Amino acid sequence: MELEERYVTRDRKLRLVVTSTSNFFTYFIAEIIKTGVALEPTLHKVRTRTFHHLISIGMLIPEHQFSNRYAI
């Protein structure tokens, strides 16, 4: 996972921007897509294993793939 990598939730409501990763945690900033407002607290963390699981089951989609797949 690279820094500044962007993910979108499947329902297109949230964008997650990865700020840093380690073996145990992934830190990210979440923002609402419609308004662009960041959620509080500004920096969130989740276990890296859980983050990868959400990607594998399709709950989080890399933003570049999402825009190509669901282009209107």
What pLDDT score was predicted for residue 64?
A: 84
For residue 46, list its beta bridge partners. 26
Assess whether pLDDT exceeds 70 at residue 56: yes
Dihedral in degrees, nearest 10, Cα atoms 34, 38, 44, 50: 10
Amino acid identity of residue 24, one-letter, is F
Which residue did the predictor score with more confidence, 1 or 65? 65
Confidence of residue 72 (pLDDT cuts 50, 70, 90): very low
| Burial of residue 43, with CB atoms counted within 10 A of its CB: 0-12 exposed, 13-18 middle, 19 or more buried | exposed
H or E segment to which residue 1 belongs: none
CA–CA distance, 18 with 37 (Å, rounded to integer): 16
Asked if pLDDT for residue 26 goes beyond 90, the answer is yes
Indicate yes or no: pTM above 0.95.
no
Q: What is the pLDDT of residues 43-53, one digit of tens each?
A: 889 999 999 99
Average pLDDT over residues 47-72: 83
